[in-house]
């Protein structure tokens, strides 16, 4: 798994199949149906003042990532699976849709079988960087042991992501909770 490679490949497939730019495809397929008001690939300059500045901290494999991700150019770029800019409420809304089997209010956004496939293990093994056991669904990380970024012992069905090790978000189907 490599977020940049994965993002460029998946993003290019979306563009070629839909005939749209990635930002437009994401806007129509994800942002609009979920009602995500504060989520961007390619942040408009009018929203720049709302973006929190990142600070490098101990334990980050690449501290220069924080410096680079603070640049306006990085915010304005469209890099699928790498530089989405969002808010906690929008991210929670996304995970809530997955927890509800693809439902958004009274509408079906994704089929239940698609959500089940996306949140089930598709790849697992040992991360060669830190020797930790990892499990991935389709675009989400899955709970993979006691030393999880999703907190203390969780059910194997917990899914989420840790976005550049800056912030972790997840959904817990057993608890019906997204964070």
pLDDT digits (tens, 9 = 90+) for 53-71: 887 666 655 667 778 888 9
Q: Which residues contact 173 (CB under 8 A, 6 or more apart)?
A: 99, 119, 155, 157, 158
Q: Model-level pTM?
A: 0.86
Q: Torsion angle of alpha carbons 88, 93, 97, 103, nearest 10°?
A: 180
∠ CA 57-171-131, nearest 5°, is 50
Specify whether the CB–CB gap between 163 and 79 falls below 8 A.
no
Q: What is the pLDDT of residue 49?
A: 96
Model confidence at 175, in pLDDT bands (50, 70, 90)? Answer: confident
133 or 47, greater pLDDT:
47
Mean pLDDT lowest among 17-31, 55-69, 95-109, 163-177: 55-69
pLDDT digits (tens, 9 = 90+) for 75-131: 999 988 778 899 999 999 999 999 999 999 999 999 999 999 999 999 999 888 778
Q: What is the pLDDT of residue 133?
A: 82
> Can you state the percent helix, strand and coil of the chain, rounding each to 5?
40, 15, 45
**Number of H-type helices and E-type strands within the chain:** 8, 8
Q: Which residues contact 141 (CB under 8 A, 6 or more apart)?
A: 134, 135, 149, 159, 160, 161, 162
């Amino acid at each position: 798994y490599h977020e940049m490679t994965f993002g460029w490949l998946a993003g290019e497939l979306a563009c070629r199949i839909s005939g749209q730019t990635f930002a437009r495809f994401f806007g129509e397929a994800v942002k609009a149906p979920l009602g995500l008001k504060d989520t961007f690939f390619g942040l408009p300059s009018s929203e720049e003042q709302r973006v929190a500045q990142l600070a490098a901290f101990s334990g980050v494999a690449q501290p220069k990532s924080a410096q680079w991700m603070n640049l306006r150019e990085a915010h304005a770029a469209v890099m699928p699976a790498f530089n989405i800019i969002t808010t906690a409420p929008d991210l929670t809304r996304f995970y809530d849709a997955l927890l509800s089997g693809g439902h958004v209010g009274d509408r079906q956004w994704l089929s239940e079988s698609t959500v089940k496939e996306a949140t089930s293990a598709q790849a697992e093994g040992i991360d060669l960087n830190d020797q930790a056991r990892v499990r991935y669904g389709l675009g989400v990380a899955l709970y993979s042991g006691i030393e999880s970024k999703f907190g203390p012992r969780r059910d194997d069905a917990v899914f989420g992501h840790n976005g550049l090790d800056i912030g972790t978000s997840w959904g817990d189907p057993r608890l019906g909770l997204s964070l």
